[in-house]
Every structure is written in C-alpha cells, then in structure tokens.
Amino acid sequence: MNNAQEALSRLKEGNRRFVSGVRSLDTLLSQNRRSEMVTSQTPFAVIIGCSDSRVPVEMIFDQGLGDLFVIRVAGNIVAPTQIGSVEFAAEQFGTRLVVVLGHSHCGAIQATLDQLRRPMESQSKNLRSIVERISPAVSGLLNTNLKDDPAELAHQAMQANVRMSVNLLKSGSAILEQMVQKDGMLIVGAEYSLETGEVSFL
C-alpha cells in the first residue's frame, strides 16, 4: 500500500523536474521494466485528468511506465465509470492518492460556459453529457462580476469543476469514503498551467 503524503511529494518533485526541463533517470529507464509489469502493477497515484493533448499526465509529473493510474476524460469529469476506476485502483493496487487535475484554457470548461450563455440545439447528446456534468459547478459564476472577465471566469470555473469532482469522489462511493476515513486515502484537486508547466494543488 502506498502512503498518500509520500505519493503527493513524489508528484510535486516530478513536476518541479518537468518545469526545469530535467527528467529523472528512473523515468527514462522505466521502459526497461516493461516485462516485469506484464502480470502486475503498483501505481502510486491515481490521476483523473483531462483528455486535452497538451496535458500528458506522465510527462508533466515526470513519471514512467507503471507509476500512475491515469483516467483521462474531457473536463476531468467524475461520473460512475471514473469512480469505479478509482475504486478498482484503490482496491487492486493499494493506491491511496487520488488527484483530480484541471488545467488552464480547458475546452470543456469553455464549451460549458458557452452553452450556459448561448444554448445550442445542435450540440450532440454525447457532448451535452459532459457539459451537464460540469454545469452545476460553474453556472453560479455567471451571476457574479466574473461574467465581465472572461479569462478569470474560465479560471474560476476550472477550479470549481475540480473541487466538485473531488467532492463527488469523496461522497459518491462508500468504498472511497471508508478509505479516506480509515485507510489513509487522500483525494485532492490540482490545476496545471499550460503557460508555465506548473501544477498547483488546491
């Protein structure tokens, strides 16, 4: 079983290397361990990240093959399939750190804000399902002064969506709730800056 605080420190150290343009030797050599992982894996953290091509999770945390259990979906939303995937990793691999990772300039966040302001009848039901997951977190922001500041609105909406996803993980699963209370699980939010490469934990 992985210690959540140690895992969090490992992610922070990896991101510092990424920002500095340095890669660890362990990461570079991790592909040599491929044969060892055919029948088992021990990821030290679960990351629910966005599908955005500019946010390659293993790279921004400078981690290698088998280090992270990554769940990527547009808008880093949390639905039953994502919760089930986290439960699977926690139960099967003893992973005790879960990070919901949002990022700047998120297209899913912007699509949700656009849809809330100017509903589009032509939007596919599949895309709408993502927007509907994000909407509860961000709709209230449109009734504040943020509506006049598009950049800050998008930033605050991204953070609100991450926090909502963290809360859904903490309250949407009896298994995860018990692990948080009794088994040292840590579920946290974070944001990745496309501009700087830095990950800030919320």
Query: Was 106 annotated as part of a binding site?
Result: yes
Query: How far apart are the C-alpha atoms of 117 and 188, rounded to whole Å?
Result: 30
**184: β partners:** none
Query: Was 52 annotated as part of a binding site?
Result: yes
Query: Was 114 annotated as part of a binding site?
Result: no
* CA dist 159 → 21, 32, 61, 89, 97 (Å): 26, 37, 19, 25, 19
Maximum C-alpha span of the chain: 55
Query: Was 26 annotated as part of a binding site?
Result: no
State the Rg of the chain over Cα.
17
Annotated binding residues:
50, 52, 103, 106
- Detail the residues annotated as belonging to a binding site for Zn(2+): 50, 52, 103, 106
